[in-house]
Structure 1
Amino acid sequence: MKKIIFILSVLAANSYEAQFKINVEAPSSFTPKEVYLYTLNGSKDVLNGKELKKGNSWQISVDKPYTGMMKLYFPENNASINFISENKDVKMKFETEKDKIVNIDYLDEANHVMNEMQDVQKKKEFILPALYQIQEYYKTKSDFATALNNEVLRLSKATPDLSKFPFVTYYSTNYNKFLEKSAKNSVVTHDEIISFLTKSNEMLESSSLLRPVLVAYLNAGSSATLGADVDKLLKAVNVETPRGQTVLSELIEIFDTYGMQDMKDKYLTEAKSLKCTINERLTNTIATNVNTEIGATFPNYVFNRVTNTKAKSLYDVKADKKVIVFWASTCSHCESELPKLIEKYNAVKAIKGEVIAFSLDNDAVPYGNKVKMLPWINDSELKGWNSSFADTYNVKATPTYYILDSNNKIIAKPDHAADVISYLKLN
């Protein structure tokens, strides 16, 4: 009996050691009370938990081991903080300006090192080349020349010893190899990327590197051999494994984002035909696409802060045709597209149609100012791309359009306002 008790005690101790806490300190003027904690799976945020503020701080316990990128999201003002976990305690504090987060101070060693390293990486890519050119004109011993030389030396020096931080080491090494824009870097090959994707440990999914590395893979070959190159990649990662399915999910979404419809359809069909157990990531990608295909019933949405209607949800709106628009006040394409629909709005109403616009804004002021000029039904969660309907309706860019019939079935997915007008014969 004593042996069993001892073993259980050891297991409990090991389990406890695997947990860590995240401590966040905010100014007393910061009004949000709730915070959500997200981990990362490929390019998707995964909700890990949420916590309420106590005093001027949050303390969030993470129950399971996790190494990789994390995010804090404050839904009340749509603010977020990105950081990392080395499966150890995290501590940070921040300042605010008009309830906006500024000047984040990472107090644990891993995040401090990661923040400094990322700052240097960005400057090496975008600023160092310019500094080299400017340096040629300042050969004197002036204060400016000295400061310029010091900055060039700082940005040029080798990466510091990161051996204490496994995730920072993994991220830095592979970012520098596959993604850093530098004349010194050789062009990575398909085989090098495949080796990286197949041999990496679980930090690949939590690193934020997966999607940009896949884009680098697609750009490394000829468009004439793209299908064969993707087939080669998927064979190597094995789509019957969780990693292979996550890669397949990412590729489908990349093709969707860049308007590569034939490639998207091909690999979505492959995903739907898999006979093995499918992981949650690929299951969600399939479901989102199936729910937004022509002929599918458009998922309902309960309005949040709706204008120009007394309807409580999208399905409550009665119309022979519904034009669904996803837009944002900061979207330049929307600025040119929406006026075309405004001109035809009376014609839409004349055929017993309605326009329902969902905004991916995150700032109430510009949204409120813009929506005053829009005569149709408007709604927004004011959470930007964190809005729930972005995933539900597979929105990859603004503006995005759907046309529904009276039974809320998708009958068209126009690319532009002109296509909406043409489809409804409003010319």
Structure 2
Amino acid sequence: MKKILVLIFLISSFAQAQYTVNGTMSPTIDTDWVILYKIEGASQKFIQNSKIKIDSVDIQGKKQAIGSFSFTLPENTKVGSYRITYRLENAGFVDFVFNKEDVNFGFHPEYANQTVTFTTSKENMLYKDYVDNISIAQEKLDSIQVAVLQNQDLDLKNEYKEALKTVNNIQKGYLEASNGMYVQPFIKASKRINLPEIIETPEKYMATMIGTFFDPIDFKSKTLLNSAFITDKITDYVFYINYSPDPATQQKLFKQSVDTVLSKIENLSYKKEIIEFLINQFETDTNLELIDYLFDNYYSKLPTNLQDKGFIDGKEALFAAEIGRIAPDFSWKEGGKQLTLSKLNEAENYLLIFWSTTCSHCLTEIPQVHTFLAKNDQVKVIAYSLESDSFGWNSFKKTLPNWHHVLGLNKWENKTARTYNIISTPSYFILDANKKIIAKPEHFKDVKLFFDKK
């Protein structure tokens, strides 16, 4: 009898030591799996995945498919910020905190952040309630401020003070309600710095917003560092708040905002992750100037043991053949001589073409390029042919006199072709006299347009 009681006790203890995370998406989407991650710094750690169960429910007389999923977490699951991802494209995810309690929520998959509703978990319910209420109050305060900026004849000082009082009361109330809770640092960090008096000019308004943007955020808080909160704030600050329609001014603002952000981060491991995050963001627009700025001024100055050589080499290779870079060097034999791209000193511009005799489009277009440039002595062509063997190339190159001809064996696996990230032929690169890439025309018509303008 004692053994049975002990067994029942152990089973009961084990059952209570587990936690569940349950989600429902309505309507469902065309995907079978949901993935659970723990957010650590600016990265995500895979925890587990769950298959989506599809059910049909009656909503106002119409059948609608909903998807549900569940995760079981062991007792030793770390407290922290978590994310479920249900769609890899278009960033489909819901963030929540786990603090030793079950978490249940529902959401519309197309508008997850706006529609997510928590039905269990005091932590998540309180924080979501706070976000909803403070957003409405802050939006009302901002609308009063913007109205005055648009029409300075308006007298809305009293309305502003009342709206500000509401915002401050909501902030104070939720800070008190969240005492001892994991979400309190998020509530503290979400506070906007609103001046006690309405601001009269757009310049002062933007200066105040930019100058106080990070004031409420504790960059030493492990809770904030191990969440998406700071990363999201950094994204807003660098890419949206510090904005100018003028490209040159925008580059300066990018550098200034990057400097501001990185000056606030003392944790070197986290700083490394944020630098990598920013580099990846600037990669989206191929902003080489900012990528170089981050590598030269910040990444290279991290302790050697923190620098990821694979990350560095990967980015260098990815952008080796982009506009603004010196063209990656290569050598070839021609007429019994060893020639090197970087040492050529024959023209004002060079047109480097990657092509192939097995490319039907090339066989039509390359002769047209030859005809077009035949009388232009300020342009020298280097025709780099990607081939499996030299048979067809030996014959065809004779129809293209006065060009430099390079045989690139192994076709797509050719080392130089891979360095230049060649994925199709013909691919064009226009170089200046110093072999800096100044243009990458997509088609022959673009090549003509470039040189016709010179």
Task: Please report the TM-score for the alignment, with normalisation by the length of structure 1.
Answer: 0.50
Partner SS for 2:94: strand
- The structural deviation recorded for 1:228 is 12
Paired residues, what number? 301
- Out of 250, 263, 271, the residue aligned to residue 299 of structure 2 is 271
CA deviation map 1:300-335 (0-9, x unaligned):
xxxxxxxxxxxxxxxxxxx9469xxxxxxxxxxxxx
- Percent same amino acid at aligned positions? 13
Q: Is the 1:71–1:83 contact (alpha carbons within 8 Å) kept by the matching residues of 2?
A: yes
1:292 aligns to 2:291 (yes or no): no
Q: Is the 1:167–1:203 contact (alpha carbons within 8 Å) kept by the matching residues of 2?
A: no
1:53 aligns to 2:75 (yes or no): no
CA deviation map 1:167-211 (0-9, x unaligned):
4211121121xxx374459667699769932x2225323142235
Q: Is the 2:81–2:227 contact (alpha carbons within 8 Å) kept by the matching residues of 1?
A: yes
Q: Is the 1:22–1:60 contact (alpha carbons within 8 Å) kept by the matching residues of 2?
A: yes
CA deviation map 1:385-409 (0-9, x unaligned):
xxxxxxxxxxxxxxxxx97276999
Q: Is the 2:133–2:170 contact (alpha carbons within 8 Å) kept by the matching residues of 1?
A: no
Structural mapping, 1:227-376, within 5 Å: 230=259, 233=262, 237=266, 241-253=268-280, 256=283, 261-269=288-296, 271=299, 276-278=304-306, 285-286=311-312, 288-295=314-321, 320=354, 350-351=365-366
State the superposition RMSD in angstroms.
5.8
Letter in 1 for 2:94: N
* Further displaced range: 113-122 or 206-215: 206-215
Partner SS for 1:237: coil
Unaligned runs of 5+ in 2: 1-9, 56-67, 148-153, 157-161, 197-204, 243-248, 323-352, 368-419, 450-454
Higher relative contact order (CA 8 A, sep 6+): 1
Structural mapping, 1:25-424, within 5 Å: 25-26=24-25, 32-54=31-53, 56=55, 57-62=68-73, 64-74=77-87, 80-87=92-99, 88-94=101-107, 103-108=115-120, 109-130=122-143, 157-159=169-171, 160=174, 161-163=176-178, 166-176=181-191, 180=192, 182-184=194-196, 196-197=218-219, 199-210=220-231, 212-213=233-234, 216=237, 230=259, 233=262, 237=266, 241-253=268-280, 256=283, 261-269=288-296, 271=299, 276-278=304-306, 285-286=311-312, 288-295=314-321, 320=354, 350-351=365-366, 404=422, 420=442
**Equivalents in 1 of 2:168, 2:231: separation in Å?**
27
Distance of aligned partners of 1:195 and 1:348 in 2 relative to their CA distance in 1, 3 Å threshold: farther
Q: Which residue in the other structure is 1:391 paired with?
A: none
CA deviation map 1:14-51 (0-9, x unaligned):
9x95x642111356966643112233344544443211
**Equivalents in 2 of 1:261, 1:321: separation in Å?**
27
Distance of aligned partners of 1:350 and 1:83 in 2 relative to their CA distance in 1, 3 Å threshold: same
- The structural deviation recorded for 1:268 is 1.8
- The structural deviation recorded for 1:157 is 3.0
Q: Which residue in the other structure is 1:308 paired with?
A: none
**Equivalents in 1 of 2:257, 2:117: separation in Å?**
47
Q: Which of 1 and 2 has greater Rg?
A: 2
Partner SS for 2:50: strand
Q: Is the 1:39–1:48 contact (alpha carbons within 8 Å) kept by the matching residues of 2?
A: yes
Partner SS for 2:292: helix
Q: Is the 2:255–2:290 contact (alpha carbons within 8 Å) kept by the matching residues of 1?
A: no
Q: Is the 1:36–1:49 contact (alpha carbons within 8 Å) kept by the matching residues of 2?
A: yes
Q: Is the 1:39–1:69 contact (alpha carbons within 8 Å) kept by the matching residues of 2?
A: yes
Unaligned runs of 5+ in 1: 1-9, 139-149, 297-318, 323-345, 353-401
